[in-house]
Amino acid sequence: MAVLDILKLPDPRLKQVSEPVTGFDAALQAFIDDLEETRQAGPAAVGIAAPQVGVFRRIVIIDCSTTRKPVPNHGHLILVNPEITHWEGYEPGREGCLSVPDYTGNVIRATQIRLSALDRHGEPVEYEMEGYEARAAQHEIDHLDGILFVDRVVSRRTDLFRRKVYQKGGKKNVTTKGTKNTKD
Ligand code: NI
C-alpha cells in the first residue's frame, strides 16, 4: 500500500475527464487500497476520486460515517463507474477539497440523489443518498468529469473562503474562518 500524491489546483490534469473501469483485476484492487490509504492520510477527507491522484479512471471513495456531527450515511463506499440517476431538491453548503487546500466554498447541490455504480468487484450497487452524503457523492463524481467545486461556486468573489491552517497542541487543525477571498 502507498500514499499517493494529490494533484492540486492549478494542475490542468484536474480538468481531465476520466474513463470507465472495465477490468476488476488485482491491479485495480491494489490501486483502490492505495487510494483509500491516501484518503485516510489526508486531513480527514470524506471523499477522494481517482483523478485526484492522476489516475483517470471512474472510481471514487466516500465515507460519511465518521463526521463530527453524525449524518445519514451508508458507511464506507467504493464506487466504480458511478452514475447519478435522480436528483431532487437544491441547497447551498460549504465544501472543501484535497485538491484545493487553501479554500472552501459555497456550492449548490441536490439534497437527495439516487446513484448506481459497481462495487470494487464489479457487482452492481444502488444507493439513495441525502444531505451531506449526497453532497459528497456529487462532489466526488464531479472530479470524474474534470469539475472542481470552485467551478460551481456562484460567485468567486463572495462564495470562496480562504482556509486557515494552524498548529495547536501539536496537532494539525484545519478550520475555516469567514474571511472572504477578495481575489477573483
Ligand atoms: Ni474534491
Å from CA of 3 to ligand 1 middle:
17
Q: Is residue 7 part of a domain?
A: no
Banded pLDDT at 173 (limits 50, 70, 90): very low
Q: What is the pLDDT of residues 150-169, one digit of tens each?
A: 999 988 888 899 987 654 44
CA distance linking residue 167 with residue 145, whole number of Å: 35
Å from CA of 96 to ligand 1 middle:
7
Q: Is residue 2 part of a domain?
A: no
Q: Is residue 115 part of a domain?
A: yes
pLDDT of residue 143: 98
Q: Is residue 67 part of a domain?
A: yes
Residue appearing with cell numbers 463507474: 81
The set of catalytic residues is 140
Which of 50-73 are b and which e, b meaning 16 or more Cβ less than 10 Å from the residue's Cβ? bbbbeeebbbbbbbbeeeeeebeb
Q: Is residue 5 part of a domain?
A: no
CA distance linking residue 149 with residue 100, whole number of Å: 9
Å from CA of 172 to ligand 1 middle:
20
Q: Which residue range(s) make up the domain with 132?
A: 12-183
CA distance linking residue 105 with residue 159, whole number of Å: 5
For residue 10, say if its preceding peptide bond is cis, omega within 30 degrees of 0.
yes
| Three-state SS at 22 | coil
Specify which residues 19 forms β-bridges with: 57
CA distance linking residue 32 with residue 59, whole number of Å: 8
- The amino acid at residue 57 is R
CATH at 110: 3.90.45.10
CA dihedral sign, ordered 31, 36, 41, 46 = positive
Banded pLDDT at 19 (limits 50, 70, 90): very high
Residues in the chain: 184
Q: What is the pLDDT of residues 59-103, one digit of tens each?
A: 999 999 998 889 999 999 999 999 999 999 999 999 999 999 999
Count of the separate structural domains present in the chain? 1
Q: What is the pLDDT of residues 118-128, one digit of tens each?
A: 999 999 999 99
Å from CA of 49 to ligand 1 middle:
7
Helix, strand, coil tally for the chain in percent (to 5): 20, 40, 35
Whether the pLDDT of residue 107 is over 80: the answer is yes
